[in-house]
Structure 1
Amino acid sequence: MATIRLAPVLRSYAGGSKQVSAQGSTLGEVLTNLYQSHPSLKEQIQPEQDLSRFVNVYVNDQDVRYLQGLETAVGANDTITLLPAMAGGR
């Protein structure tokens, strides 16, 4: 199973967990498996068919936007990081 690390702002949607595990051979499959256990995460990460542009997704510290997106291969020992984009300033 892949390990999914959740940013603090997403943890409340996963029962307060810092990280969870999910199965799948692609990022899309892993996320689908994740949503089965934590359905409220779907609205935050993937409200449409594609990933939200307000959430940065990394597989082993590589941004999936520069890989194959939801088709990015994921192995059992891989780490996925979900990090909402932050904005601010004046």
Structure 2
Amino acid sequence: MTAGEVRVLLPEVLAATAEGQRELTLSGADGLTVGSLLDALALRYPVLERRIRDETGMLRRYVNIYIDGQDIRGLDRQDSVLGSGAEVLVLQSIAGG
């Protein structure tokens, strides 16, 4: 990964909606927020977008996003700013019983 890039890590269940890729890299990360990152991903992977955010643009309640290990719910949520070289982990809770 080079300067100005952000790495997005997806679990297998979400990777299926991103052409099977478990790791995505976005360039031009300076000043990027989680929301603008998700907007950029939505252009490339619309099905992934629908799995992460609802029709109002809010994160689905069973989706957790971490920036360098920190839950964005403890930060500024979708307004959280991503630094160059940030690692964004998107997790989808799995229910079972």
TM-score clears 0.5: yes
Q: Which has the higher helix share?
A: 1
User: Please, which runs of 5 or more residues in structure 1 have no aligned partner?
Assistant: none
**Where does residue 3 of structure 1 map in the other structure?**
7
Is 1:29 the counterpart of 2:62? The answer is: no
Cα RMSD of the aligned pairs, angstroms, is 1.2
Q: Which moved more, 1:3-12 or 1:21-30?
A: 21-30
**Structure 2 CA distance for aligned equivalents of residues 41 and 88 of structure 1:** 22
**Structure 1 CA distance for aligned equivalents of residues 68 and 59 of structure 2:** 17
User: Please, which runs of 5 or more residues in structure 2 have no aligned partner?
Assistant: none
**Structure 1 CA distance for aligned equivalents of residues 22 and 63 of structure 2:** 16
Is 1:49 the counterpart of 2:37? The answer is: no
Identity %: 29
What TM-score does the superposition give when structure 1 sets the normalisation length? 0.91
Aligned length: 89
